[in-house]
Amino acid sequence: MSETFAHPREALILPASTEEPKPLGCKELLKDGKWNPHALKRALENARKRYDFYEKALLILEAGYMLFPTGSCDLFAVRTKRRTPDAQLVKSEYAWGDNRTTRQAKAQALRAGEGRYVSTDLLIYQRQEAIEVEKNGEKVKVDGFRFRNEDFQDIEFPLEIAKPELMQITSQAMALKFFDEIGVLRIRSDDAAAPRKADPVILGRIIYPIKQGWASERRRLTFYIGWYIDTATL
């Protein structure tokens, strides 16, 4: 007695359904597939942040600015959407000099056109009060001070770039609201026989919005805004 077997491919064919398939939304697909929605949302959010970053870089290049090697520079302006800075309350036994001293404000990785520029120097408020500290293994109350970030401050151009030409091109760059940080790089002469003051270079930087591994600082992309050379010292 002989038996016939269906071809393996034929055995996999399912009978046609008489019902039309219903379109599934993202929520239904996640539920049916038992996927973790948080991982997908995080991946989508990171994709949006990367898009905003590279779109901002493209807008800067199209505006005529050139890439510049990324390195350290002295920031004097940062872009933020916050109305007030984070309080960052600190208690200490010791005063921090003047009652209104400064801390450094940090930029946000914003989309092009968002936020406003403020000074990197934050206004700090301190007041005297009793605080609890640990001495010889015991907690005791002593006279101390309480500090908090009070407000943002207006931008002050560094003295060496307070030249009409540099201030004009810097103001034009700020009006675009492309750069997250704006600072000055001081380039000094290497000629010991004819030393001169530093020629200030104005740089704009954008912040890569996604933290890389365990790195404490996020990557930056730097662009050249302007350079002042005092021809009288050449």
C-alpha atoms less than 13 angstroms from C-alpha of 72 in its C-beta half-sphere: 0
Domain residue extents for the chain: 37-83+107-119+154-233
Q: pLDDT digits over 181-220, tens only?
A: 999 988 765 555 444 566 789 999 999 988 776 656 788 9
Give this prediction's pTM. Answer: 0.69
Of 218, 226, 225, nearest in space to 106 by CA: 218
pLDDT value of position 1: 47
- Predicted confidence band of residue 150 (pLDDT cuts 50, 70, 90): low
Whether residue 14 is predicted with pLDDT greater than 70 in this model: the reply is no
pLDDT value of position 117: 95
The whole-number average pLDDT for the span 116-142 is 74
Q: How far apart are CA 100 and CA 98, in angstroms?
A: 5
The whole-number average pLDDT for the span 112-136 is 77
CA angle at residue 118 from 117 to 121, to 5 degrees? 150
Two structure tokens written together for 180: 């997250």
Of 205, 118, 108, nearest in space to 155 by CA: 118
